[in-house]
């Protein structure tokens, strides 16, 4: 049976925020004493809020409402599936919490506001004391100050980069439990391990207050979660961060879209500023839907620089054959319009002939003006060559393969293993300057280890279950076989 506080909160949410109310009407509330606080996860393709009843009893309803908003924002901002591969999950989740808590606190008076209603009438959003927020020292960080002079709404990845730079435990390879607890100072919040925003202008002082990480193993076969503890090993009053499986991604996106569609039928909900912001965010979560490939490619090539190479011209004779009375074109250095197209042949792109045909149909329209060099990527990068009606790896990476009309038919799916792009960006393209077009299904396992290459255009299918967010370059959509 649902705890009576949750029933009161859900009833009050209908008047405070229709959007938040609709969100949690789609969630199951389930008591779970193995959790120290609460946590929002996906169970059997449904949103499920797991909570410890003792934790619910110990907090006011306004604070619990704030925590529901906190958990909802993690889902809406797609935090569970934006993890950086190979990086510390504790610092990543800490950065995500800091961004959400700071945003809620900074907008506590307007978060539940509506257009056409006095902002002073909007109910406040209240969080429990001692939750992590972005300190002022982050905004004074030289890298952030240079790149975001007028912006005070950072992405969690930016906060993570700052935490990583200032976390002495990460840098020294020691755990938090090996460190001495910080001393308590007047007016500080060191009993929770987190200062309020603005309390700590010195990064060196703040990095000593990063709390102890605690990992919660939530039952055999039922997933794993992460909790935050202060220097006294007390669990902070915030949600448990569950590590979700890849198969849950599609469920999360489907739930969000269904909720937006359902809430959009309510006139009051549509007037809420929270709904307006979130609806735009979810609609635009796939930037590949904004531009069709042919339009994006034309803009991309107009902006991209062109490589230089040697060519031949009849206007200049070849002196080597002049003595034999033969007039042959001579070698001249001129601008050649070159493009490198790299295709992920281990992904699902090659398995959908309609999509790949449409993509290369756009590329083949450029053959009269551009020379196209084709590369293929599987577990490794290779220059293709034709054999028995298909492309196979050639032995020479230095000799490019010049694409000809219809060559896309020779592409075959590889071993279906992981696709690694580091050989392309971190080695091969170091010797090049021409525009690079990468055709992939978005499953890039080493995406955040790539050296940025400009200009790059990522081409992905139009039916991705999750947004593709590369760290550099532009994105275009590979239309379906129907051309829609």
List, for residues 333-367, the tens digit of each pLDDT value. 455 578 999 998 876 656 566 667 777 877 888 88
Mean pLDDT score of the chain? 75
Could you tell me if 435 and 453 lie in one domain? yes
% of the chain residues with pLDDT over 90: 20
Same domain? For 9 and 137 the reply is yes
Helices (H), 365-459: 422-425
What pLDDT, on a 0 to 100 scale, did the predictor assign at position 322? 58
Residues 399 and 259 in one domain: no
**Cβ partners under 8 Å of residue 220, min gap 6:** none
**What is the predicted pLDDT for the residue at 79?**
78
- Residue with tokens 């107009």, as numbered in its chain: 302
Give the total number of structural domains in the chain.
2
Q: Within a domain: residue 376?
A: yes
Question: Are 300 and 449 in the same domain?
Answer: yes
Name the pLDDT band for 442 (thresholds 50, 70, 90): confident
Whether residue 314 is contained in a domain is answered as: no
For residue 52, being part of any structural domain is answered with yes
| One domain for residues 297 and 250 | no
- For residues 296-312, give the mean pLDDT: 60
pLDDT > 70? residue 210: no
pLDDT at position 284, please?
Answer: 43
Range of the domain at 304: 288-309+336-478
Q: How far is Cα 293 from Cα 278, in angstroms, rounded to an integer?
A: 27
| 8 and 114 part of one domain | yes
Query: Do residues 9 and 131 both lie within one domain?
Result: yes
**b/e for 122-136, b at 16 or more Cβ within 10 A?**
bbebbbbebbbbbbb
Q: What is the pLDDT of residue 184?
A: 30
User: Is residue 315 included in any domain, yes or no?
Assistant: no
* Confidence category of residue 54, pLDDT binned at 50, 70, 90: very high
Domain membership of residue 268 (yes or no) is yes
pLDDT band at 126 (very low <50, low <70, confident <90, very high): very high
Looking at residue 149, its pLDDT comes to 54
Q: What is the per-residue pLDDT across 391-434, written as a single tens digit (0 to 9) for each?
A: 889 988 888 999 998 898 888 765 555 678 889 999 999 888 88
pLDDT confidence band for 262 (50 / 70 / 90): confident
Comparison of pLDDT for 449 and 310, the residue scoring more: 449
303 lies in the same domain as 216:
no
Higher pLDDT: 208 or 141? It is: 141
Q: Between 21 and 208, whose confidence is greater? A: 21
Instruction: Report how far residue 101's alpha carbon sits from residue 375's, in angstroms, rounded to the nearest whole number.
Output: 45
- Vertex 433: Cα angle to 318 and 347 (nearest 5): 120
pLDDT at residue 98 in the model: 92
Backbone angles phi, psi at 357, to 5 degrees: -65, -40
Query: What's the CA angle centered on 242, arms 138 and 239, to 5 degrees?
Result: 60
Q: What does the pLDDT read at residue 467?
A: 73
Of 357 and 273, the structure prediction assigns the larger pLDDT to 273
Which domain CATH number covers 349? 3.40.50
Q: What pLDDT is recorded for position 105? A: 92
- At residue 28, the pLDDT reads 92
Encode 266-293: b = buried (16+ Cβ within 10 Å), e = exposed.
Answer: eeebbebbbbeebbeebeebbbbeebbb
**Does residue 103 lie within any of the structural domains?**
yes
- The reported pLDDT for the residue numbered 229 is 82
- Residue that wins the pLDDT comparison between 242 and 103: 103
pLDDT value of position 461: 79
Asked whether residue 187 carries a pLDDT value surpassing 50, the answer given is: no
Give the SS3 label for residue 207. Answer: helix
């Amino acid at each position: 049976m649902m705890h009576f506080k949750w029933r009161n909160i859900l009833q009050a949410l209908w008047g405070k925020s229709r959007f938040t109310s609709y969100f949690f009407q789609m969630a199951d509330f389930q008591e779970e004493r193995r959790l120290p606080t609460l946590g929002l996860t996906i169970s059997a393709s449904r949103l499920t809020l797991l909570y410890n009843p003792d934790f619910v009893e110990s907090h006011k309803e306004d604070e619990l409402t704030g925590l529901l908003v906190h958990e909802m924002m993690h889902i809406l901002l797609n935090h569970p599936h934006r993890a950086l591969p190979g990086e510390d999950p504790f610092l990543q989740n800490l950065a995500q919490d800091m961004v959400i808590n700071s945003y809620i606190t900074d907008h506590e008076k307007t978060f539940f506001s509506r257009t056409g209603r006095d902002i002073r009438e909007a109910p406040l959003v209240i969080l429990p004391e001692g939750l992590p927020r972005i300190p002022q020292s982050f905004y004074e960080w030289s890298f952030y100050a240079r790149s975001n002079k007028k912006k005070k709404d950072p992405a969690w990845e930016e906060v993570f980069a700052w935490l990583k730079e200032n976390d002495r435990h990460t840098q020294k390879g020691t755990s938090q439990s090996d460190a001495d607890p910080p001393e308590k100072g007047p007016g500080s919040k060191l009993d929770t391990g987190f200062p309020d925003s603005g309390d700590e202008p010195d990064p060196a002082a703040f990095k000593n207050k990063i709390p102890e990480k605690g990992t919660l193993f939530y039952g055999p076969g039922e997933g794993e979660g992460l909790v935050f503890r202060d220097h006294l090993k007390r669990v902070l009053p915030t949600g448990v961060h569950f590590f979700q499986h890849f198969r849950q991604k599609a469920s999360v996106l489907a739930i969000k879209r269904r909720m937006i569609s359902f809430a959009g039928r309510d006139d009051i909900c549509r007037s809420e500023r929270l709904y307006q912001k979130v609806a735009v965010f979810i609609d635009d979560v796939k930037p590949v839907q904004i531009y069709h490939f042919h339009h994006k490619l034309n803009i991309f090539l107009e902006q991209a620089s062109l490589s230089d190479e040697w060519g031949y011209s009849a206007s200049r004779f070849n002196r080597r054959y002049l003595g034999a009375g033969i007039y042959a074109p001579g070698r001249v250095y001129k601008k050649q319009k070159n493009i490198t197209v790299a295709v992920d042949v281990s992904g699902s792109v090659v398995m959908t002939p309609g999509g790949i045909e449409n993509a290369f149909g756009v590329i083949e329209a450029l053959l009269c003006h551009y020379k196209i060099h084709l590369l293929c990527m599987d577990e490794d990068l290779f220059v293709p060559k034709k054999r028995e009606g298909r492309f196979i790896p050639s032995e020479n990476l230095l000799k490019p393969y010049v694409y000809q009309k219809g060559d896309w038919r020779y592409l075959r799916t590889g071993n279906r293993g992981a696709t690694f792009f580091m050989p392309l960006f971190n080695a091969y393209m170091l010797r090049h300057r021409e525009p690079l077009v990468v055709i992939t299904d978005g499953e890039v396992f080493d995406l955040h280890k790539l050296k940025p290459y400009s200009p790059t255009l990522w081409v992905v299918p139009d039916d991705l279950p999750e947004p593709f967010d590369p760290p550099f370059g532009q994105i275009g959509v590979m239309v379906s076989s129907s051309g829609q």
